[in-house]
Amino acid sequence: MLGRMYEGQDCAAARALELVGERWSLLIMRDALFRHFTRYSQFQSSLEIAPNILAKRLNTLVEAGIFRTQALESRPTHQEYLLTEMGQALKPVLVALTRWGDQWTGPGPVEFVHHQCDTEIEHEIRCAACGDDVALGDVQVRLRSPQLAE
């Protein structure tokens, strides 16, 4: 993971990357969000990651508030990792990253579909005011008003 040295930077993207930007963290999130994994053993089998690295990444995600732990009913000495609202909110990020990878590094084995009709989904950017779809070339950045940044 990146060091926590953002002196002079006020950047939400940098802060987000500090929490989830490490590759194992993103793959753990993928398995939790789309494969509904909750157990250490499931992540271990899927990712074939060193146990100490997996434990560290899961602990970091719990400390960040992305997962919460709960004792397993069937085995109270074991815990499961449940996504919080903060963790669930990462779903569109993983969809966008995967779609980017499909386009620029080669298609992966999955596509994202709507549960109700089994049709591939679209990921779009819309204007909050008028509701129009916005082309990427029309997206700009501006500083927030001081009262909104608080």
Q: Once rounded to an integer, what is the mean pLDDT over residues 42-52? A: 95
Phi-psi region of 118 (alpha: psi -120 to 50; beta: other; left: phi over 0): left
Residue 60 in any domain: the answer is yes
Give the 3-state secondary structure of residue 82. Answer: strand
Give the CATH number of the domain where residue 37 resides: 1.10.10.10
Q: What are the tens digits of pLDDT across the range 24-40? A: 999 999 999 999 999 99
Which pTM does this prediction carry?
0.84
Q: Which domain, by its residues, includes 81?
A: 12-138
Residue 149 in any domain: the answer is no
Q: What are the tens digits of pLDDT across the range 112-138? A: 999 999 999 888 899 999 999 999 899
Between CA 44 and CA 28 the distance in angstroms is 9
Residue 147 in any domain: the answer is no
Comparing CA positions, the residue from 43, 45, 46 lying closest to residue 56 is 43
DSSP-assigned beta bridge partners for residue 133: 126
Residue 4 in any domain: the answer is no
Residue 97 in any domain: the answer is yes
Q: What are the tens digits of pLDDT across the range 137-147? A: 999 988 888 76
Domain count, the chain: 1
